[in-house]
Amino acid sequence: MTICYFCKGKVKAGHVQHIHRWGNQVFILENVPAEICQQCGEVYFAPHVLAEMDKIALGKAQPQTTIQVPVYAFA
């Protein structure tokens, strides 16, 4: 991927923090290799990175740390 699918901007390799949702569970993945659009910020993940995320979501990887996240509902 060198050109953004959405805006045709330039896509550059880098690392991102990714919030991965799996049913009711939320995982924060740090330092995920990704390709990021320099124009609109769209993030692209390689297939092997997506497979790794699924592995994490299925509980097959040990988290580095666990944090509590407050949840608020707007009345």
Using CB under 5 A as the criterion, which residues of the chain lie in contact with Zn ion when the complex forms? 4, 6-7, 9, 37, 39-40, 42
- Residue whose CB is less far from Zn ion, 38 or 63: 38
Whole-angstrom Cα distance, residue 20 to residue 34?
Answer: 14
**Helix ranges, 1-75 (H):** 47-57
CB of residue 14 to Zn ion, shortest distance in Å: 14
Please report the beta strands in the chain, taking only residues with DSSP state E, as ranges in sequence order.
11-22, 25-37, 43-44
- Residue whose CB is less far from Zn ion, 16 or 57: 16
CB of residue 4 to Zn ion, shortest distance in Å: 3
